[in-house]
Amino acid sequence: MKRLLALTAALCLGVVAACGSGGSGGSDADSGSVTMWIYPVVPDQAKHQAFWDQRIADFKKANPNIDVKVEIFPWPQRDQKLQTAIAAGKGPDVVYLIPDQLPKYAKNIEPVDSYLSDQDKADYLDNAKAAVTYEGKMLGAPILTSTRPLVCDRKAFQAIGETSYPKTWDDLLALAPRFKAKGIDATNYFASPDATLNESFYPLLWQAGGDVFSADGKSVAFDGEAGVKALEFLKKLVDGGYVEKDLLSSIPNIEQTHIAQHKVACTWQQAPADVEAFWGKENVVVLPPLTETKSVGYGTVGSLSILSGAKSKAAAGKWVAFAGQPNVAKEYDLAANLFSPRKSTGQLYPNDPVQSAMEKTVTLTTVGSLNAKSRDVMAVLAPEIQAALLGKKSSQDALSSAAEQAKGLLGQ
């Protein structure tokens, strides 16, 4: 009996000790361990890993009791893997997310506001900060931005003897017949439901002065005047034969499209890096996004978010604040060939004509309004846009039908 009592007491002590150590680790900002999941933002895996190894070593000097582990996962199926890991309680402490993902994971995210200094927060570009702010809280610390401006092929313009590039929708429509006469598409448009509307339709919607959701996020707004205008503009391009028709139904590899054959004049769906190999860097002309009522394009923001299941939120917060510092972010953006979300970093590419032109358009980008149902709404809107472009519905009917379906998704 005595033995049994002693054993029970020892077990209880063990349990208390275990709980105690876990508790202290969870509450103490100066100790703990942090696991971060990131993806191949820097395509060279060795270079990418070396970057984070060096940053971990720097961080460790100031925080000797916090262990950081950075794991680089492939892009494909990242949502599924993260989702499964969170559901199983095996998620990371910190993860790289883009604005599209943030509202969906909002329930699992610890806002970073309290972990960043006011000075830090004030240093972010307004659009970068807005891109990670959901329901008034910053769900991630931005470390990079990207931009999708208008990219034109100098050779295509030479083929029609044109020296000025389009600034507005009307400019592009006016040039389109001349390009067609030379066997060149005015632009390309992916209408397959698999293509993200962020890079295809939404920029036009924003340029026409519209938005996907209403200001309160409780209803959709794409079926208004701006939406119809944007879809009509696309229909003119399709009906005139100014875009590659196969892209309306499928997403072939870029090598199999007109882009790769010098047969597309301008695009807002590909970045210079996507077309350089086919056009040659000397033929890539970067311009601000097209204008209807305003010039605006899509640009994403990569941010580091702390998951609410983090073992030590304080330690994770310290690491996120460190990894998002201007000097760290600047080095990372240069390694990834992307752009800084910070004001204080200044120009990153003063000597690169293409990258510096891209950099100038960063402030003209948006991710639109964040909404937990953004992907669901995209899934009902994309097929309707496709139907309109294939001539099966009028623009207004297609958008109204999508808006009707979206009502159910938004619980209206």
Partner 1 sequence: MTATIERGAPAGPTGPPARPRARRSPLQRREARFGLLFALPCFLLFLAFRFGPGLAGVALAFFHYEVGDTPRFTGLANLSRLLNDDLFWKALRVTVVYSVIAVPLSLVCSLAMALLVRKKFRTVTFFRSVFFLPVVTSLVLAATVFTWIFSSDGPWTRITGPVLGWLGGYDGSWLASSVWVLPAMALVSVWSRFGYGMLIILARLQDLPAELEEAALTDGASSWQRFRYIVLPQLKPALFFLAVIETTGSFQVFDLVYVMTGGGPAHGSYTLVFQLVDQGFKFFDLGYASAIGLALFVMTIVVAVIQRLTLGRES
Give contact residues for partner 1 (rule: CB under 8 A). 77, 79-80, 83, 86-87, 104-105, 107-108, 191-195, 245-246, 248-253, 256, 375-376, 379-380, 383-384, 386-387, 390-393, 405
Shortest CB 249 distance to partner 1, Å? 4
Q: Quick one: which of 38, 35, 18, 142 has its CA closest to 96?
A: 38
**CB 40: neighbour CB atoms within 10 A?**
13
Q: Do the beta carbons of residue 179 and residue 160 sit within 8 Å?
A: yes
Residue whose CB is less far from partner 1, 104 or 148: 104
Helix, strand or coil, per DSSP, at residue 307: strand
Shortest CB 371 distance to partner 1, Å? 13
Residue whose CB is less far from partner 1, 260 or 334: 260
Helix, strand or coil, per DSSP, at residue 400: helix
Residue whose CB is less far from partner 1, 66 or 86: 86
Shortest CB 408 distance to partner 1, Å? 8
Q: Do the beta carbons of residue 289 and residue 364 sit within 8 Å?
A: yes
Shortest CB 216 distance to partner 1, Å? 22
Shortest CB 184 distance to partner 1, Å? 16
Residue whose CB is less far from partner 1, 105 or 169: 105
Shortest CB 253 distance to partner 1, Å? 8
Residue whose CB is less far from partner 1, 128 or 380: 380
Exposed/middle/buried for 228, CB within 10 Å: 0-12, 13-18, 19+?
A: buried
- Nearest-angstrom CA–CA distance, 192 and 51: 37
Q: Do the beta carbons of residue 102 and residue 370 sit within 8 Å?
A: yes
What is the helix (H) or strand (E) element at residue 286, kind and residue range?
strand 284-287
Residue whose CB is less far from partner 1, 159 or 402: 402
Shortest CB 383 distance to partner 1, Å? 5
Helix, strand or coil, per DSSP, at residue 4: helix
Residue whose CB is less far from partner 1, 278 or 332: 278
**What token pair was written down for 308?**
């609410």
- Nearest-angstrom CA–CA distance, 238 and 56: 51
Shortest CB 84 distance to partner 1, Å? 9
Shortest CB 389 distance to partner 1, Å? 9
> What is each CA distance from 126 to 109, 122, 133, 342, 372, in whole angstroms?
21, 9, 11, 9, 21
Residue whose CB is less far from partner 1, 180 or 375: 375
Q: Give just the sign of the alpha carbon dihedral 39, 42, 44, 49.
A: negative
Residue whose CB is less far from partner 1, 25 or 309: 309
H helices of 28-71, in order, are 45-62
Residue whose CB is less far from partner 1, 250 or 327: 250
Shortest CB 190 distance to partner 1, Å? 10
- Nearest-angstrom CA–CA distance, 399 and 104: 24
Q: Mind giving me the DSSP string for 97-123?
A: E-TTTHHHHGGGEE-SGGGS-HHHHHH
Shortest CB 379 distance to partner 1, Å? 6
Q: Do the beta carbons of residue 389 and residue 238 sit within 8 Å?
A: yes
Q: Do the beta carbons of residue 116 and residue 142 sit within 8 Å?
A: no
Residue whose CB is less far from partner 1, 124 or 134: 134
Helix, strand, coil shares, percent, the chain, to 5: 50, 15, 35
Q: Mind giving me the DSSP string for 209-221?
A: T--SB-TTSSSB-
